Amino acid sequence: MKNFKFSSLLLVPLFAVLAACGGGGGGSSTSSGTPTLKSIAITIPSSTIPIGSSQTMTATGTYSDGSTKALGSTTNLVWATKSGGSSVAQVFSSGKVTGIAVGTETINATQEGVTGSIALTITAPWTMVSANGYQTIARKADGNLYSWGQNNWGQLGDSSTTPRNAPVLVNAGAATTAWKMVSMGEQFAVGIRAGTATTTSAGGTLWAWGYNLNGQLGDGTQTNRSVPVQIGKDTDWAYVSAGKGHVLAIKTSGVLYAWGRNSEGQLGDGTTVGKLVPTKIGTALWLTVSAGGTHSLGLLKDGSLYTWGGNSDGQLGNASTGSNVTAPVKIGTATYTAVAAGAQHSMAIGANGTLWGWGANSYGQVGNNAGTGAGITAPTQITSDNNWAVIAAGSLHTMGVRTDGTLWGWGSNAEGQLGDGNGDALAPVQIGTATNWVTVTAGIGHSFALKTDNTLWGWGRNQEGQLGNGKNTLSTTPVNVPN
Q: In this predicted model, what pLDDT tens digit does every residue of 139-148 receive, in sequence order?
A: 999 999 999 9
Taking only Cα atoms into account, the Rg of the chain, rounded to an integer number of angstroms, comes to 32
pLDDT at 15 over 60: no
The arithmetic mean of pLDDT across residues 255-281, rounded, is 98
Q: In this predicted model, what pLDDT tens digit does every residue of 157-187 receive, in sequence order?
A: 999 999 999 999 999 998 989 999 999 999 9
pLDDT at 4 over 50: no
Instruction: Quickly state the pLDDT bin for 1 (edges 50, 70, 90).
Output: very low
The arithmetic mean of pLDDT across residues 395-415, rounded, is 98
pLDDT score recorded for residue 41 = 98
pLDDT score recorded for residue 370 = 83
- What the chain holds in terms of domains, given with CATH numbers, is 36-123 (2.60.40.1080), 126-481 (2.130.10.30)
pLDDT at 104 over 90: yes
Of 247, 254, 213, the closest CA to residue 341 belongs to 247
pLDDT at 30 over 90: no
The arithmetic mean of pLDDT across residues 55-81, rounded, is 96
Please provide the average confidence, as pLDDT, over all residues in the chain.
92
The arithmetic mean of pLDDT across residues 312-316, rounded, is 97
pLDDT at 53 over 90: no
Which carries the bigger pLDDT value, residue 474 or residue 24? 474
Q: Position 282: which residue type?
A: G
Side-chain-side CA neighbours of 110 within 13 Å: the count stands at: 9
The arithmetic mean of pLDDT across residues 13-25, rounded, is 37
The arithmetic mean of pLDDT across residues 264-282, rounded, is 98
Task: Please check whether residue 331 is in contact with residue 315, taking contact to mean a CB–CB distance below 8 angstroms.
Answer: no
Q: Bridge-partner residues for 286, per DSSP?
A: 300
pLDDT at 214 over 50: yes
pLDDT score recorded for residue 164 = 98
pLDDT score recorded for residue 21 = 38
pLDDT at 33 over 90: no
Q: In this predicted model, what pLDDT tens digit does every residue of 319-359 receive, in sequence order?
A: 999 999 999 999 999 999 999 999 999 999 999 999 999 99
Instruction: Quickly state the pLDDT bin for 32 (edges 50, 70, 90).
Output: low
